[in-house]
Structure 1
Amino acid sequence: MNDNATWMQRDLASLWHPCTQMKDHETLPVTPIRSGKGVWLEDFEGHRYLDAISSWWVNILGHANERINARIKTQLDTLEHVILSGFTHQPVIELSERLGRLAPEGLGHCFYADNGSSAIEVALKMSYHYWHNQGRPEKRRFLTITNGYHGETLGALSVGDVAIFTDTYRSLLLDVIKVPAPDGFGLPRDQWIDQARAAFAHMEAALERHGDELAAVIVEPLIQCAGGMRMYPPEYLTWLREACDRHNVQLIFDEIAVGFGRTGTMFACEQAGVRPDYLCLSKAITGGYLPLSVVMTTDEIYAAFYDDYSTLRAFLHSHSYTGNPLACAAALATLDILEDDDVIATNRDKSARIEQVTAPLREHPHVGDVRQTGMVVAIEMVKDKATLEPYDFRERRGLRVFQHAMSRGAMLRPLGNVIYWMPPYVITPEEIDFLGEVTREGLEVATGR
């Protein structure tokens, strides 16, 4: 009973997988995973796979981390869950205090949800409601940049711009203003800032034109992850903060995928030296163990909802598992490890090794760009290197890379034509070298070169 085929058959008879055309599994096996340790996952037949994408960008400190395990087990014997409306508990208080010390100064209040999309919904509703409470109900629209992704609930989809996720649901979505992203695709890093400056002119013009009706601007700082790991410089965030202040528009940073050290600092916005009005966090917050998200915001915004019950100014948003004690315990253990082991500083050497290993791929005749920010690297395959013409998505060249990598013992899961690494921080130099080999081979398989 413990062979892969049996578990796959039981799976396909009962499950509907996320982000998947289920018909693919007529020919593409589902891989049942029995266990994990460190960067490695193991199936029911003993085959191992290096988790190069941190299991959807969440598992930053490795699978079956003993310190996180211990913290959750201790909490489990004390309190597994309690309603957070009218009640509280030690882990959520301690986590809120810790986050307040770590985040940019002034983000003193934490509002919890249980996944990234829900955090975005909280931030959008909170911003809209803030202006309503301030007597400015006309400030109800949102502004964002193209190619963004913020989740798949309807509000989050509305402020996203990845067509494969949004097009089907277009008639259900909010009317959001979108301007060109500061995307440095195909450019040397020293030219990213010029591209960002040109793109920011569109943002400035939109703020000038629509400021009176805008509640907030929302962006993913530094990396548009699900949009193909497109990257841009921190200066754009600095300009954006100043412009939002000038036009009296709030600013939401979606650091769900890039927070907790992924870009080289605890939070990506630190590299711009700015603070948003709302900071959305999830994914790595629990080290990949349990669902949890949080929106951090300012005393001023908190105060706009603080009034007598009869005024109906309270923020009536809730989730059943808001601030779950087990998830908060996992988050506290994750923060302990990040701080006690100085993980982000240690990552600098690993980032340098990743850069060294992937740099030669720039010379491949069908690689249009190799870009990196912190512990994220993306290699984008193109049909024509000179013009950066993309491959037709229907050719599914990324799938060829995935299949080759699995045969070699690595879980690389490209985004279309973009091969990317977002590995757990516990990856070793030797494992980085192995990923380099597998990626080079996968490129050759996918492009015929």
Structure 2
Amino acid sequence: MECVIISDDRSSKVECILDAGDREHSWHPFTPMLDYLKEPAIHIAQGEGCWLYDTEGKRYLDACASNWTCLHGHNHPVLKAALLEQAEKLCMSTYKGASHVPGAKLNKKLADIAPKGLTRAFYTDNGSCAMEAALKMSLQYWQMIGRAEKRKVISMAGGYHGDTIGAMSMGDCGSFHERFKDWQFPSAHFRAPRCEEYGGRVFYEKSEESMSELSELLERQGHETACLVMEPWIQGPAGMRMQPKGYLKEVERLCLEHGVHLVLDEVFVSFGRVGELFVCKAEDVCPDFLCVAKGLTAGVLPMAATLVKEPIYEAYLGEIKEGKTFYHGHTFSGHPLAAAVACANIDLVEEMIACGELAKQINVFEKAVCRYFSGHDLISGIRQRGMVCAIDIDCAKQKINSIPLGYDVWRRLKGKGVLVRPLGDSLIIVPPLVMNASEFDFMFSRILETIEEAIG
């Protein structure tokens, strides 16, 4: 395949090598590859603050915090220093049957900041694997205590918990997983509550039907159910569907009443994304399993954790011949470089919350969302909580409906230097926690301008 020549600057040998390496050998995640190959590739070479820079020097505002991970933007000096300092001492050491200094420190730090009762941390590489670990821990626990009949799973309709087979089975995310239905185990779903919120105001909320449906489901099969799985406060890939505050506490009450493990997927919402270290802690809820990932290392390195209650962990203690060992793990579980960065990141997030800086950032973000989108005739819906926002574009106004509006706007925005995430006819905006007011203006003005262009 010949190198794609975009300009004289891109005709360099290095640029041709990058184009060939990407176009001839790469398979990008969640990407329609034929469509991707029709356009010039963007080769990101550097990141600084909330901006990414390609090999031509063009900059892009990272309005999705690189898959919702980069809480502090890019190239943060504290996180970089933690990484380099640890790299001077130890880059890799197995966590199977051995510990290391940053891992031990992170264990203690997570136990200190998590809801009281979550005392153990099991490390994996990503959110899907953190959820798989929680699922297997719950199933094995019930087997070991003589309740093997508790093998069913309940989850909230519209939930997304990852793309491995177990994670897909726990979820209910339509087209993402439809092709693999025949290989998934069945799980029962209860309807999600509704909550319309943005700009610090709740416009509509309804949870009675959801709670009634869940209660009836637990009455029928609670005695056979191992765990209930849900994303608290916000269902991300479902379109940032929100739950009323206080709803989670009622779910916990029902789980305790029926003896069902509560597994909370805070892969997306934890570590300050919605203004709190943990959503469950803000609701005074202590789940049996708490899964975190995206914000754990602020995007610097892959790492996830499944936090577990002590009594569940203790059920696994026994002689080898008793067969209680949890035979599950990953090559890079508890990676020392990632653990060191995670410790530094937690310190940064805690400081942002304690000094009120995060609350101020959220307030500025809320006001910008209202200023640009509230009441606009091309916007059919807004959902925003913390530093999370979904903008629904009114597809009825579109003259030509060949591709989803969100995708069309996303593609156009790349050319204007803004990177967001499309989802159907919606745009998902999840900026770094440190984005400033002028960057919000840059982002939102271009988004609105591009929506108007796309609708024509």
> TM-score range with shorter-chain normalisation?
over 0.9
Deviates more, 1:263-272 or 1:327-336: 263-272
Closer, same or farther in 2 for the Cα pair 1:115/1:343, shift >3 Å?
A: farther
| Deviation of 1:118 (Å) | 0.4
CA distance in 1, matches of 2:312, 2:42: 46
CA distance in 1, matches of 2:411, 2:139: 45
Of the candidates 237, 247, 270, which is equivalent to residue 248 of structure 2? Answer: 237
Deviates more, 1:403-412 or 1:14-23: 403-412
Closer, same or farther in 2 for the Cα pair 1:416/1:345, shift >3 Å?
A: farther
Q: Structure 2: which amino acid aligns with 1:362? A: S
Deviates more, 1:295-304 or 1:359-368: 359-368
| Deviation of 1:7 (Å) | 2.1
Q: Give the SS at the match of 2:155.
A: strand
CA distance in 1, matches of 2:197, 2:210: 15
Is 1:258 matched up with 2:266? no
Closer, same or farther in 2 for the Cα pair 1:13/1:153, shift >3 Å?
A: same
Is 1:26 matched up with 2:37? yes
Quote the residue 1:182 is aligned against. Answer: 193
CA distance in 1, matches of 2:333, 2:219: 38
Closer, same or farther in 2 for the Cα pair 1:182/1:21, shift >3 Å?
A: same
Quote the residue 1:398 is aligned against. Answer: 406
Of the candidates 129, 132, 136, which is equivalent to residue 143 of structure 2? Answer: 132
Quote the residue 1:9 is aligned against. Answer: 20
CA distance in 2, matches of 1:258, 1:399: 24
CA distance in 2, matches of 1:95, 1:61: 19
Quote the residue 1:438 is aligned against. Answer: 446
Closer, same or farther in 2 for the Cα pair 1:415/1:264, shift >3 Å?
A: same
Do the aligned residues in 1 keep the contact of 2:198 with 2:366 (CA within 8 Å)? no
Q: TM-score, normalised by structure 1?
A: 0.94
Is 1:223 matched up with 2:234? yes
Do the aligned residues in 2 keep the contact of 1:96 with 1:109 (CA within 8 Å)? yes
Q: Structure 2: which amino acid aligns with 1:397? A: L
Mapping 1:211-360, distance limit 5 Å: 211-342=222-353, 345-359=356-370, 360=372
CA distance in 2, matches of 1:331, 1:280: 15
Do the aligned residues in 1 keep the contact of 2:368 with 2:441 (CA within 8 Å)? yes
Do the aligned residues in 2 keep the contact of 1:2 with 1:45 (CA within 8 Å)? no
- Unpaired stretches in structure 2, ≥5 consecutive residues: 1-11
Is 1:364 matched up with 2:376? yes
Quote the residue 2:420 is aligned against. Answer: 412
Q: Deviations along 1:362-402, whole A, 9 cap, x unmatched?
A: 322232211111111111123359xxxx9999622112211
Q: Structure 2: which amino acid aligns with 1:367? A: I
Quote the residue 2:7 is aligned against. Answer: none
Do the aligned residues in 2 keep the contact of 1:158 with 1:175 (CA within 8 Å)? yes
CA distance in 1, matches of 2:158, 2:40: 31
Q: Give the SS at the match of 1:296.
A: strand
Do the aligned residues in 2 keep the contact of 1:144 with 1:218 (CA within 8 Å)? yes
Mapping 1:41-120, distance limit 5 Å: 41-120=52-131
Q: Structure 1: which amino acid aligns with 2:252? A: R
Closer, same or farther in 2 for the Cα pair 1:269/1:4, shift >3 Å?
A: farther
CA distance in 2, matches of 1:85, 1:196: 44
| Deviation of 1:416 (Å) | 1.8
Q: Deviations along 1:191-229, whole A, 9 cap, x unmatched?
A: 544x12222111111111110110010000111111111
Of the candidates 357, 378, 384, which is equivalent to residue 390 of structure 2? Answer: 378
Closer, same or farther in 2 for the Cα pair 1:202/1:391, shift >3 Å?
A: farther
Q: Structure 1: which amino acid aligns with 2:344? A: A
Is 1:447 matched up with 2:450? no
Is 1:429 matched up with 2:437? yes
CA distance in 1, matches of 2:435, 2:15: 26
Q: Structure 2: which amino acid aligns with 1:378? A: A
Q: Deviations along 1:231-283, whole A, 9 cap, x unmatched?
A: 11122101100000001101000000111010111111123221111000111
Deviates more, 1:179-188 or 1:7-16: 179-188
Deviates more, 1:300-309 or 1:5-14: 5-14
CA distance in 1, matches of 2:188, 2:44: 42
Do the aligned residues in 1 keep the contact of 2:142 with 2:150 (CA within 8 Å)? yes
Q: Give the SS at the match of 1:143.
A: strand
Deviates more, 1:118-127 or 1:309-318: 309-318
Q: Deviations along 1:306-340, whole A, 9 cap, x unmatched?
A: 11111101111110111000000110111122234
Do the aligned residues in 2 keep the contact of 1:234 with 1:269 (CA within 8 Å)? no
Do the aligned residues in 2 keep the contact of 1:381 with 1:391 (CA within 8 Å)? no
CA distance in 2, matches of 1:114, 1:67: 22
CA distance in 2, matches of 1:214, 1:225: 25
Quote the residue 1:162 is aligned against. Answer: 173
Identity of aligned residues (%): 35
Q: Deviations along 1:155-197, whole A, 9 cap, x unmatched?
A: 001111111211000000011001111133599964544x122
Q: Structure 2: which amino acid aligns with 1:414? A: P
Which consecutive segments of 4 or more residues in structure 1 shift more than 6 A? 390-393
Q: Give the SS at the match of 1:395.
A: coil
CA distance in 2, matches of 1:336, 1:205: 43
Q: Deviations along 1:55-113, whole A, 9 cap, x unmatched?
A: 00111111111111111111111111111122100101100100111011110011111
CA distance in 2, matches of 1:25, 1:307: 53
CA distance in 1, matches of 2:321, 2:155: 35
CA distance in 2, matches of 1:213, 1:2: 62
Closer, same or farther in 2 for the Cα pair 1:186/1:222, shift >3 Å?
A: closer
Q: Structure 2: which amino acid aligns with 1:296? A: L
CA RMSD of aligned residues (A): 2.1
Q: TM-score, normalised by structure 2?
A: 0.93
Q: Give the SS at the match of 1:46.
A: coil
Paired residues, number: 443
Closer, same or farther in 2 for the Cα pair 1:132/1:217, shift >3 Å?
A: same
- Unpaired stretches in structure 1, ≥5 consecutive residues: none
